[in-house]
Amino acid sequence: MNYTPEVEARLRADAEQVIARYPNSRSAIMPLLHLIQSEDGFCSPRGITLVADILGLTRAQVSAVATFYSQYRRRPNGEYNVGVCTNALCAVMGGDIIWDELSEYVGVGHDETTADGKITLEQLECNAGCDYAPVIMVNWEFFDNQTPASAKQIVDDIRAGKDIHPTRGPDKVHTFKEISRVLAGFEDGHVDEGPAGGEATMAGLRIAREQGWTAPVSEEEQQ
């Protein structure tokens, strides 16, 4: 099914803003795929066709990008993407246990979506939050120092329609479609809403300041 004329006109207008940021229009392919996900919840066939037409590419060329990167979905994603890190440090700190219990609790496995369309569950690779292991990410917002019980509470709150609040970042987690629009390059006003780093991340900087340590100066900077 094609987009309605109104929706297609809106997407094309947004696409023009995205393309204007790049010297080569083809460079806009990745944010445009996020734009499609903000509308359809995945990289739909009609969305791929539209991106191909806008950029003067073939559908195969656009699909090649959409199938390469894991943040692009080829089937409808849940309203909330709940990712459990099971890479080395998170795994040994309890990530594997969280994954096993949460998958059984929700009733779906990796890259599967609950029947109500609320939750897509995903096993994640490292998200550079090792100092807060084990970590869960919901729509790419951090939930630090998790346990099986706290992970189940997250999905319970999602199912109940409650706002969920990440450890760091914005005040609440926004939907997959809303976040996809941000990834397409359209600010939502929440960028400075909460802290980006917690005590574990900032400990080194704090100690350096307390000790009066400074970065070494190169010979070029000394001259």
In a 13 Å sphere around the CA of 2, the CA atoms on its Cβ side amount to 7
pLDDT more than 70, % of the chain: 98
Q: Is 130 annotated as a binding residue?
A: yes
Predicted model pTM: 0.87
Residue 90 labelled as part of a binding site: yes
Reported as a single tens digit per residue, the pLDDT across 7-53 is: 999 999 999 999 999 999 999 999 999 999 999 999 999 999 999 99
For the chain, domains (ranges, CATH) are: 5-68 (1.10.10), 80-174 (3.40.30.10)
Residue 31's alpha-carbon distances to 10, 11, 64, 124, in angstroms, are 15, 12, 15, 22
The amino acid present at 95, given as its one-letter code, is G
Six-digit token string for 65: 């990008």
pLDDT tier at 204, thresholds 50, 70, 90: confident
Q: Please, what's the b/e burial string for 74-83 (b: 16 or more CB within 10 A of its CB; e: otherwise)?
A: eeebbbbbbb
43 in a labelled binding site: no
Query: pLDDT tens-digit profile of 99-151?
Result: 999 999 999 999 999 999 999 999 998 988 898 999 999 999 999 999 999 99
Distance CA 162, CA 144 (A): 19
> Is the confidence at residue 223, as pLDDT, over 80?
no
